[in-house]
Structure 1
Amino acid sequence: MTETVLTETAAPGVTQITINRPERRNALDGATYAGLIEALKAAEADASVRAIVLTGAAGCFTSGSDIKGFQASAGDGPSIAIQFLTAISTATKPIVAAVEGYAVGIGTTMLLHCDLAFTGKGATFRVPFVALGLCPEGASSYLLPLVAGTKRAAELLLLGEAFSSEQAAEAGIVNAVTEDGAALERALERAKALAALPPQSVALTKMLLKRGHAATVAETIAVEAKHFAERRMSDEAQAAFAAFLKR
């Protein structure tokens, strides 16, 4: 595993995957995306793993994709991000997310593919795609209206303003809000409960829960990715990236 992604056995049957790039608020670069894909694939292939917990190091989930990668005209940043979204959206084992600090961009949209998610009350969420000259990704243009309603999804995706853990719970992005610093404990508790259940029944139930939307999710990820790649190289986006990096 890359050092920016740590894996450990947190409990019998439970693998914990930690985004470990605290100096960048766990921003996701190409190596980190690759590490997450590798970690998910390893957990999927290991029969002893019955549940996955996804979290971030040093009290921060992730500040999203590393903007420096978006300034490049070529490279594996966006494509490997799509590979990660495909991996997490098609995982057959239950994934439980633990959010603290920041969940920005893909840090929020990936939660739509997790089966359960818990957040510390002080966490901040944001999907600032439009403000960056981009467009939604990770099938968020389909899944967010599904869980939050069309008006709330439009507010979050079009305006791209920061929102609280309580608002994330109200929008159906997370299951519950914990005290700050307690999201991982709660996620591990739920993952242990899942790991104690009959694994084939858990896998079947997850498949049945997702089957009605699976084809549309895959199609939406692909359509969004095409537009996202085009927007990434637009004058609007490049100007927004440059302004962001000057902060």
Structure 2
Amino acid sequence: MSESVLSEIVAAGVVQITMNRPDRKNALDRASYAGLIAAIAAAEADDAIRAILLTGAGGCFTSGNDIKDFAMAAAAGEGPRVAIDFLDAISTAKKPIVAAVEGFAVGIGTTMLLHCDLAFAGSGASFRLPFVTLGLSPEGGSSYLLPLVAGSKKAAELLMLGEAFDAGTAAGAGLVNAVVPEGTALEHGLAKAKALAALPPQSVALTKMLLKRGSAAAVAETIATEAHHFGERLRSAEAMAAFAAFLKK
């Protein structure tokens, strides 16, 4: 397991997966994605694990992709493959995933919530989908799932303008179940993960499958289509200019 991702049993049947680069606001580089994929796979393969709790270290969920790492990958022609592999893993996980969000949830830090079964945000959490402002395009199935949960107008506002929004807006857009007092998202998330872990596991898994069955094929197709366009945008002059400006800050 990557040191940038920690995995530990925090209650009977509950594994906590923590994005752990607090000095970088848990920005996700290629090693982080590999660690997340491995942690989810390990949880899926362990019959003793009945629920996954996903959070970030240091009072921050994740500031999204590590722009420097992404710029290096783009320059090397590698594209966003490992990020897409993570999205495939989280979107097809059979066990329930509960997210606990504090601080920043930027880019994929927001879109991954669309694949979590439950999510709770501290009142001070800040969300953003800055793909257009970075010369990129939506990812994570967000161009399909966000209109479903938020409505087409709100989805267009959040994805096209790329402005930051607060926890209340995230709840109204269906990205999180509830806004809780700042600093208590992990506590609330753990309580729900423990409740899920105490339920009949086959029934929980079947219910999750049935809830996702109607959109599973569309989500997979959208993630793949978005990944194609995202990869092209990574190599675009607009993205390169946006990355260069970001890295000069």
1:36 has 2:43 as partner: no
- Counterpart of 1:7 in structure 2 is 7
1:27 has 2:27 as partner: yes
1:208 has 2:210 as partner: yes
1:18 is displaced (CA, Å) by: 0.2
1:75 is displaced (CA, Å) by: 6.0
SS at match of 1:84: helix
Match of 1:126 among 121, 128, 133: 128
Query: In structure 2, what is the Cα distance between the partners aligned to 1:4 and 1:97?
Result: 17
1:119 is displaced (CA, Å) by: 0.4
Query: In structure 2, what is the Cα distance between the partners aligned to 1:68 and 1:179?
Result: 33
Return the letter of the residue paired with 2:244. A
Return the letter of the residue paired with 1:10. V
Deviations 1:136-170 (Å, cap 9, x if unpaired)?
00000000000000000000000000000000000
TM-score normalised by the chain length of structure 1: 0.99
1:198 is displaced (CA, Å) by: 0.2
Match of 1:237 among 217, 236, 239: 239
Return the letter of the residue paired with 1:188. L
Aligned pairs (5 A) from 1:55-70: 55-70=55-70
Percentage of matched positions with identical amino acids: 73
1:71 is displaced (CA, Å) by: 1.6
Task: Give the superposed CA RMSD.
Answer: 0.8
- Counterpart of 1:141 in structure 2 is 143
TM-score normalised by the chain length of structure 2: 0.98
Q: How many residues align?
A: 247
Query: In structure 2, what is the Cα distance between the partners aligned to 1:76 and 1:127?
Result: 23
1:70 is displaced (CA, Å) by: 2.3
- Are the equivalent residues in 1 in contact too, given 2:79–2:231 (CA < 8 A)? no
SS at match of 1:71: helix
Deviations 1:87-134 (Å, cap 9, x if unpaired)?
000000000000000000000000000000000000000000000000
- Counterpart of 1:188 in structure 2 is 190
Return the letter of the residue paired with 1:212. G
- Counterpart of 1:174 in structure 2 is 176
- Are the equivalent residues in 2 in contact too, given 1:29–1:77 (CA < 8 A)? no
- Are the equivalent residues in 2 in contact too, given 1:101–1:122 (CA < 8 A)? yes
Query: In structure 1, what is the Cα distance between the partners aligned to 2:18 and 2:71?
Result: 26
Return the letter of the residue paired with 1:12. A
